[in-house]
């Protein structure tokens, strides 16, 4: 396809308390059907969306974090997480859940989808995208 655009879904907010995080994920899943080049970015409180061991029993909403692990099935293979945002919240890469995709060009080998990058690298990722959708 000649007119594939690079879509970047930028997630800045905590997973619960507002509807932004869940809506972003829904848009990603719907948009994935259009076979564009899709990447997700997590900065600021958005990094909490990928933390492991989420439990929403106490707040009466659905824990949608397992759905991130289905993104590989939707051919979404790039989840960029800003290192500075993690550090500012006392988090590290070890606090994030494991998300993998299967590389079609490498005998379906499972590879990690989450890439922790620096703030400067994140700026490049954003500049490189044709469309940035901020949630």
Where are the extended beta strands (E) located within the chain? Answer: 6-11, 37-42, 78-82, 100-103, 109-112, 114-117, 131-134
Least separation, in Å, of the C-beta of 66 and another protein?
5
**Does residue 69 touch another protein according to CB under 8 A?**
yes
- Helix (H) or strand (E) holding 87, with range, is helix 83-88
Q: By CB under 8 A, what part of segment 76-135 binds another protein?
A: none
DSSP 97: P
* Residue 99: strand, helix, or coil: coil
Q: Does 23 bind another protein (CB under 8 A)?
A: no
Both tokens of 124, joined, read 């490049």
Pick 33 or 59: Cβ nearer another protein = 33
Q: Which is nearer to another protein, 31 or 84 (CB)?
A: 31
Cβ nearer to another protein, comparing 69 with 89? 69
What is the contact surface with another protein in residues (CB under 8 A)? 26, 29-30, 32-33, 62-64, 66-67, 69-70, 73-74
């Amino acid at each position: 396809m000649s007119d594939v655009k690079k879509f970047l879904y930028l997630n800045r907010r905590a997973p619960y308390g507002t509807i932004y995080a869940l809506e972003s994920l829904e848009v990603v899943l719907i948009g994935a059907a259009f076979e564009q080049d899709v990447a997700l970015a997590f900065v600021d409180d958005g990094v909490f969306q990928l933390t492991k061991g989420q439990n929403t029993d106490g707040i009466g909403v659905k824990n949608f974090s397992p759905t991130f692990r289905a993104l590989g099935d939707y051919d979404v293979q790039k989840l960029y997480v800003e290192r500075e945002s993690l550090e500012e919240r006392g988090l590290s890469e070890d606090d994030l859940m494991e998300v993998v995709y299967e590389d079609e060009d490498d005998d379906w080998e499972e590879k990690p989808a989450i890439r922790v990058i620096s703030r400067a690298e994140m700026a490049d990722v954003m500049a490189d995208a044709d469309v940035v959708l901020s949630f």
